[in-house]
Amino acid sequence: MARNVSTRRKLAVTAVAWTIGILIFFPILWTFLTSFKTEAQAIASPPAFLFFDWTTENYFEVQSRSNYFKHFLNSVVVSFGSTLLGLIVAIPAAWAMAFAPTKRTKDVLMWMLSTKMMPPVGVLVPMYLMFRNSGLLDTRTGLVIVLTLINLPIIIWMLYTYFKEIPGEILEAARMDGASLSKEIIYVLTPMAIPGIASTLLLNIILAWNEAFWTLNLSAAKAAPLTAFIASYSSPEGLFYAKLSAASTMAIAPILILGWFSQKQLVRGLTFGAVK
Amino acid sequence: MATLHTRSAARLMIAPSVLLLLAWMIVPLAMTIYFSLLRYNLLMPGMEEFAGLSNYTYFLTDPAFFQAIFNTLAIVLGVLFITVIGGIALSLLLDQPMFGQGIVRILVIAPFLIMPTVAALVWKNMFMNPVNGLFAWLAKLVGLQPFDFLANAPLFSIILIVAWQWLPFATLILLTALQSLDEEQKEAAQMDGAGAWSRFFYLVLPHLSRAITVVILIQTIFLLSVFAEILVTTNGGPGTQSTNLTFLVYAQALLQFDVGGASAGGIIAVILANIVAFFLMRMIGKTLEA
Amino acid sequence: MGSITLKNVSKVFGAHAVIPSIDLDITDGEFVVFVGPSGCGKSTLLRLIAGLEDVSDGQIVIDGRNATELPPAKRGLSMVFQSYALYPHMSVRSNIAFPLKMAGEEKAVIDKKVADAARVLNLTDYLDRKPRQLSGGQRQRVAIGRAIVRQPEAFLFDEPLSNLDAALRVNMRLEISQLHQQLKTTMIYVTHDQVEAMTMADKIVVLNRGRIEQVGSPLELYHKPDNLFVAGFIGSPKMNFISGAPAAAYQAHTIGIRPEHLALSKEQGTWRGTVGVAEHLGSDTFLHVNADGIGTLTARVSGDFGVTHGDPVFLTPDVQRLHKFDDKGLAIR
């Protein structure tokens, strides 16, 4: 009897949760479906959900019109580059704060996070001018530099919370066993922190991939990543829903798939150690 | 605690990060302050001259400025309200036993992974468009006049879009927190005769407080400078109805090429953000310490 | 050769002197136990010797060489940590081999030494497992294995048994003592458990609030405690302390008598009292007696002594084994 009731309850929960899940996901699903329609079908009323003539021509059109692959490559270079660069700078810093803390460590961490609070517009003008004068405007190098800087506090903070969970005794054991500082970090700390480093890497790639203030303002054509590629579709030229959908699908698919595969690490990383 | 040797190594290792962030904070900010005191327009090169505080008076007396402050706060608070309440409700739902929980999680997390420009364009054209959007079709289906969201309720529409993007973040963090709640505590509360509501208020909600703090902190950081969503949907309009501080400064700088004015606006934005940050950091510092 | 000498060693954290000043000689091959209540500075002292903390002042001499400034790796010491501190991502084999690898030993030498250590510690069958697949006792042995392969001047143990259950603790205690007899290497062992100290040590160092209260062999400390603290800390159940008039009768401020040195009788004796709680261990019974005008006294009697709660009894101290202390808590001899 009790089992029956709980199964019924489980079914009800399932129905509600799936409905809400699909509603939340619907805009993405709809975009995906629309990308395979003709422009006429895309704005047909009533809208066609699944029963339409599937076509892939939009994808070819988008590629020929605005060279998707160039922007895709820009996005990859900028997001991976800035994240890797950030990790290289952040790992030693996080080690220092987690394993050789001083009275000021908490303040330093807070200060680092507070630099994220500074609104980007506060420094937009000088950044723009500096970039223009040094030839960094509309270059991938320039974008990598800026995204490294804006995500550095988050990378440090995340690594710090992961490192904190590694017992200091293990590093001391390595020191007793004769490991130098660099060997301690390479042979003991890094392998133990791989899961944490991986989720830091993922989250920051996603943040950098989707970053849309600096990438829009500091790139034009040459270095424009997918954020800017999509923004160029914001001024409509005739019938364009299907092509917009195709472009959108192409822009979000790589990171969506990456995010889905790594959702566990992602969520854990996002909690910044506040939730174990 | 550690030895002198490790402490000096630690200082060396933390130095690059600190120097980089310090430079990142100070150099452009100092330049912004300097520019904000100049009459400086990119369309009139060579015409720079000292302008005192006139840029500030210009900005502070501009009605668009107050509208922008209001809009900035409305976006932050509106999105926080929707995502925190919605996130708690949704995480409680997802914490129940059900079939296919993993797939539902995948569906729910998706909007967080979508780049803001895509999210805004999809909502603007395919849902909120008064002619061809799905909402218009739905309205007609039930016999209503289609509503032009972005023209008639631009700020609300933007809040909706941004909230859609951030709801997964809040939900997943709160869900993780819920799942870390000790099962024995819940059972103990049940033994003590606490009903579902009192369990929620006296046990679950306090347990979630840390996670809620994190959600508020992280989201505020990003929401204070919402930009792409405005750029591709309303362009700040109609008029300045959906212009936030970020967008206002952007428009001043890169559309009107008024470096001096934009810099003054940037400095004001920094000061406001610092006020918000001050309170937030105190709150976070307290919660994360415990 | 592993003699260790501490000269005037002190450790200050901020304004707080954890260890005001300590002098200590440890001769080669000794099994020395640092014992004391938590927060007494025993672990800090061990970490100072290990080099994991800097001394604030004073000198640490290891094997005739001033090691005060040396990093941990150069001091020729091995350490077994309370949490074992095994490397979770390495197999048992790699864990034990790690110090040798860091010392740049050749692979053949490493393999042989690891195999020897594994044989001594009964770990041969587990060499390819990861630490998480081992039981507590096995992890403990891996930690010891990692310590012995380097053939150090001395071993440092930081409460190594506190994470084991009671039965295993007794076993490992024995194994470590046997290891000491085999290797004859200096061992410094930190614990808060006076039973461990008594059973294992050649020499016990009793610490309290960063100061050495007394140094001596287990039986010296048991029979001739220098002060109230040592008297109360060593021995189980604790020594009974009596002050006031009954103590004045023995020309002392406080007198102490161990539970095993109180004779019990149902008919007559020095002090009269009633039985409170009786703890039956089988072989022995610990009686908590409310003695008139004195307070609660613990007495050890044979397991067959038949009294229950509320019975009147008489207690007589063995005057030969009475400990007398002055008003500063120091022993009067």
Q: What is the pLDDT of residue C1?
A: 64
Cβ–Cβ under 8 Å, residues B169 and B108: no
Residue A63 half-sphere exposure toward CB, CA atoms < 13 A:
9
Is the pLDDT reported for residue A1 higher than 50? Answer: no
Window 46-85 of C, Cβ < 8 Å to A: 50, 52, 71-73, 77-79, 81-83, 85
Does B209 score more than 80 pLDDT?
yes
Q: Which of A99-108, A145-154, A155-164 has the lowest mean pLDDT?
A: A99-108
Identity of the residue in A177, A188, A191 whose CB atom sits nearest the CB atom of C146? A177
Q: What is the pLDDT of residue B257?
A: 80
Contacts of B290 (CB under 8 A, 6+ apart): B210
pLDDT number for residue B1? 45
ipTM topping 0.85: no
- Per-residue burial over C262-281, b if 16 or more Cβ lie within 10 Å, else e, is bebeeeebebebebeebeee
State the smallest CA–CA distance between residue B256 and chain A in angstroms. 12
pLDDT at A77 over 90: yes
* Burial letters B197-209, b for 16+ CB under 10 A, else e: eebeeebbeebbe
Q: How far apart are the first and last CA of chain A?
A: 37
Averaged pLDDT of chain A: 84
- Measured CA to CA in angstroms, residue B2 lies from A162, B13, B182, C45 at distances of 19, 15, 34, 14
Q: Which residue has the higher pLDDT, B253 or A96?
A: A96
Residues 91-110 on A with a CB inside 8 Å of B are 92-93, 95-97, 99-100, 102, 106, 108, 110
Q: Taking a C-beta distance cutoff of 8 angstroms, is the pair B220, B1 a contact? A: no
How much is the average pLDDT of A201-226? 86
Least-confidence region, from A132-136, B45-49, C32-36, C70-74: B45-49
Q: Is the pLDDT of residue C218 over 90?
A: yes
CB A29 within 8 A of CB A23: no
Of B79, B82, B113, B122, whose CA–CA distance to B223 is shortest? B79
In terms of Cα–Cα distance, which of C283, C276, C286, C284 is closest to C312? C276
Band of the pLDDT at C95, cuts 50, 70, 90? very high
Average pLDDT over residues C269-291: 89
| pLDDT tens for each residue of B252-269 | 877 778 888 888 888 888
Q: What are phi and psi of A267, to 5 degrees?
A: -65, -40
Q: A28 and B121: CB-CB below 8 Å? A: no
Span C239-264, pLDDT tens digits: 999 988 888 888 889 999 999 999 88
> Amino acid letter at C90?
M
Contacts of B162 (CB under 8 A, 6+ apart): B75, B79, B223, B226, B229
Q: Exposure of C284 by Cβ count < 10 A (0-12 exposed, 13-18 middle, 19+ buried)?
A: middle
Mean pLDDT of C123-139: 90
Q: Quick one: average pLDDT of B122-142? A: 83
Asked if pLDDT for residue C329 goes beyond 70, the answer is: yes
Judged by a CB distance cut-off of 8 A, whether residue B3 touches chain C is yes
With vertex at residue A98, the alpha carbon angle to CA A97 and CA A101, rounded to the nearest 5 degrees, is 55
Q: How far apart are CA B79 and CA A206, in angstroms?
A: 21
The yes-or-no verdict on residue B159 having pLDDT over 90 is: yes
> How buried is residue A32: exposed, middle or buried, by Cβ count under 10 Å (0-12/13-18/19+)?
middle
CB-CB under 8 Å, A110 with B115: no
Selected for mutation to probe chain A from C44, C81, C150, C151 (highest A CB count within 10 Å) is C81
pLDDT recorded at residue C104: 87
Mean pLDDT of chain C: 90
Give the CA angle between residues C116, C120, C122 to the nearest 5°: 110
Is A66 exposed, middle or buried, given 0-12, 13-18 or 19+ CB atoms closer than 10 A?
middle
- Least confident range from B77-81, C158-162, C214-218: namely C158-162
pLDDT over 90 (residue C224): yes
Please report all neighbours of B, defined by 3+ CB atom pairs within 8 A: A, C
Round to whole Å and give the CA distance between A112 and A150.
Answer: 10
Tokens 């933007």, located at residue: B158
The reply to whether residue B3 touches residue C13, judged by beta carbons under 8 angstroms, is no
In this prediction, residue A2 carries a pLDDT of 44
Label residue C165 exposed, middle or buried (CB < 10 Å: 0-12, 13-18, 19+).
exposed
d(CA C234, CA C198): 8
Q: Each residue of A243-274: b (16+ CB within 10 Å) or e?
A: bbbbbbbbbbebbbebbeebbebbbbbbbbbb
In the 8-state DSSP scheme, what is residue C261?
G
**Residue written as token pair 């895309």:** A42
Predicted confidence at residue A274, as pLDDT, reads 55
With cut-offs at 50, 70 and 90, classify the pLDDT of residue C129: very high
Q: Quick check: C87 and A172 CB within 8 A?
A: no
Residue percentage of chain A with pLDDT more than 70: 92
pLDDT over 70 percentage in chain C: 100
pLDDT bracket for residue A236 (50, 70, 90): low
A86-90, A203-207, C202-206: which range is least confident on average? A203-207
Q: Which helix (H) or strand (E) holds A143?
A: helix A140-164
At C301-320, the pLDDT tens digits run: 888 887 888 888 999 998 88
- Burial class for A209, CB neighbours closer than 10 Å (0-12, 13-18, 19+): buried
How crowded is residue C123: how many other Cβ atoms within 10 Å of its Cβ? Answer: 22
Three-state DSSP at C7 gives strand
**Dihedral pair phi/psi, residue C111, rounded to 5°:** -55, -45
Strand partners, C241: C256
Res A4: pLDDT: 55
- What's chain B's average pLDDT? 84
Q: Which amino acid would we find at residue B244? A: N
Nearest in space to B246 (alpha carbons), one of A212, A230, A136: A212
Work out the minimum CA distance from C154 to partner chain B, whole angstroms.
Answer: 21
Please check whether residue A60 is in contact with residue A129, taking contact to mean a CB–CB distance below 8 angstroms: no
Spatial contact of C297 and C241, defined as CB atoms under 8 Å apart: no
| pLDDT at A275 > cutoff 60 | no
Let me know: does C165 contact C176? Beta carbons within 8 Å. Answer: no
Q: Which of A102, A104, A169, A177 to mutate to test binding with chain C, by most C CBs within 10 Å of its CB?
A: A177
The label of the residue with tokens 């996005």 reads A75
